[in-house]
Amino acid sequence: MNKFRYDINGLRAYAVLFVVLFHFGIFGFTGGFIGVDVFFVISGFLMTKIIMDSLQENNFSILQFYTNRAVRIIPALAVLCIFLLVLGWFELIPSDYRSLSKHVIGSLLFVSNIIYWKESGYFDVDSHEKILLHTWSLSVEWQFYLFLPIYLIIAYKLLKHKTIYSLILLFICSLALAHVISTYRPSASFFLLPTRAWEMVLGGFLYFLPKPNLKNATSYLLEIIGFSLIIASLYLFNAKTPWSSIYTLVPTIGTALILYTQNQKSIFTNNKIAQFLGNASYSIYLWHWPIVFWLFHKNQQNNIIYLLVGIIISIALGYLSATYVEKFIGNQLKGTSLFKSNLIISMSCISIIGLGLIIFKTNGGNSSIRGAANTPQALLIEKYINEHKNLDDAYWLQCDAYSNLTKYGFNGIDKSCINQPLSTKSILLWGDSHSQALSLGLRTTLNDYSFYQIGSSGCKASLTPTETLKGALKQAL
């Protein structure tokens, strides 16, 4: 019989706390995104253990495995999606509501990581305009859940007790891929399963290691080293660090060390605060980002009082969700047959996805019956979008170095941005996304001027020389 792992539950508390404080912009947590990496290692260990234990006992059911994962993840996520769609009806302008419906669909189909990869980078300025951005990690985990049992079944049949060798191969390939492309395709490395799988596989390694028989002093020493690596990552890494990459080994190895010691009496993980946060960690993670989004939406992201209240509300909503959705609804579903639980989950998801499709097809509920779609601000924005549907042309996004970096892997700009007919009357537009919003107006109003543009979203203009720029942008500077 499996014993409850207080160390794992406590470690979840640290992981979610790091992510929450990072997203709320609390000083000292610029590397708090590593909390997701901690979650990945934990998940990899638990899933590998569940699958391998059943395979060795010859009673593994892949349908039961998938159902258990769905019961664990989907109810709380579905409740959040319903709540946001209802709230969005009263609060969001059509373009934002349409975007929310798209992201709700992507989240419930567990492909939101792919959608966000195509749209922008995780650390971009406009990431705060995506109310379900944080679900990218759930999509990565779900994709891993779909893949792992099939991979382990094949590996176990072929290799038996040497199954770990297949995981070593997968680990090396995934980590190498992540590190190579993290510089050239940073969004791909951050969001996609092939470059994230190694973190979960690292957790899976722990299953195959002999059970440790450590003295208390040795156990605490390894645990302190593990926490030291994790805490150091909060300060060593930031949004500019290539991620996932070889740097990600620091917090993930730290996590693996803590899990390996299995210290059930640790003062770090087995205390009331850590256990409370650990029990509600998934739901806290789900609810915190929409609150961060709303702080930005209401322009209160720098108000310390609002930030503190937002953190408290995140924990409170997480507790309520964990108690009344995860546990209560989860237990109800576990008590039914596989067919009935899968039917309930499937129909719930289909209903919410259907609602999302209706909102998407009606251009974000752009109707006279929806107040948020008829405010002066909403009408002005929709008028602008309708007149300039291709914002790439309006903003001249081919001149945005960072957009090119995240989409195409190079941070140069198109030659058309700086190669214009010679003229004594010329304009150079230089700056971030705010300056690019002026592009169409300047080009239209001053059409007898030669127009040049250099931009980079989220980056202030600078005359400091750099060796990292490539292509036409470097030549222009």
In terms of domains, do 402 and 356 share one? no
pLDDT at position 133: 94
In terms of domains, do 245 and 283 share one? yes
In terms of domains, do 350 and 413 share one? no
Does the pLDDT of residue 393 top 50, yes or no? yes
Tell which wins on pLDDT, 324 or 384.
Answer: 324
The answer to the question of residue 379 being in a domain is no
In terms of domains, do 351 and 404 share one? no
Question: Which of 312, 346, 361 finishes a domain?
Answer: 361
The answer to the question of residue 208 being in a domain is yes
The answer to the question of residue 381 being in a domain is no
Count of alpha carbons within 13 Å of 195, Cβ hemisphere only? 25
Q: Which residues contact 258 (CB under 8 A, 6 or more apart)?
A: 7, 11, 222, 223, 226, 227, 230, 269
If phi > 0 it is left, if psi is from -120 to 50 it is alpha, else beta; for residue 299 that is left
pLDDT in tens, 334-376: 888 999 999 999 999 999 999 999 999 999 988 888 988 888 8
The answer to the question of residue 374 being in a domain is no
Question: Which of 318, 342, 361 finishes a domain?
Answer: 361
Count of domains observed in the chain:
2
Using an 8 Å Cβ cutoff, are 262 and 212 in contact? yes
Using an 8 Å Cβ cutoff, are 138 and 176 in contact? no
**Which range among 249-253, 302-306, 352-356 shows the weakest confidence by mean pLDDT?**
302-306
Does the pLDDT of residue 225 top 60, yes or no? yes
> Between β-strands 426-431 and 450-455, what pairing exists: parallel, antiparallel or unpaired?
parallel
The answer to the question of residue 330 being in a domain is yes
pLDDT at position 473: 33
The answer to the question of residue 107 being in a domain is yes
DSSP helix/strand/coil, 110: coil
Nearest to 279 by CA among 6, 476, 466: 6
Q: Which residues contact 217 (CB under 8 A, 6 or more apart)?
A: none
Q: Provide the residue range defining the domain that includes 443.
A: 389-476
pLDDT in tens, 160-173: 889 999 999 999 99
Angstrom distance (rounded) from CA 459 to CA 467: 16
pLDDT in tens, 108-136: 999 999 999 988 655 555 677 899 999 99
pLDDT at position 301: 82
- Number of C-beta neighbours around residue 185 at 10 A: 19
pLDDT at position 361: 95
The answer to the question of residue 269 being in a domain is yes
Angstrom distance (rounded) from CA 346 to CA 109: 11
Does the pLDDT of residue 476 top 50, yes or no? no
In terms of domains, do 196 and 137 share one? yes
pLDDT at position 2: 61
In terms of domains, do 186 and 318 share one? yes
In terms of domains, do 262 and 178 share one? yes
In terms of domains, do 308 and 446 share one? no
The answer to the question of residue 89 being in a domain is yes
In terms of domains, do 52 and 103 share one? yes
pLDDT in tens, 2-50: 689 999 999 999 999 999 999 999 998 999 999 999 999 999 999 999 9
Using an 8 Å Cβ cutoff, are 33 and 230 in contact? no
In terms of domains, do 353 and 393 share one? no
In terms of domains, do 404 and 320 share one? no
Angstrom distance (rounded) from CA 349 to CA 129: 24
In terms of domains, do 320 and 404 share one? no
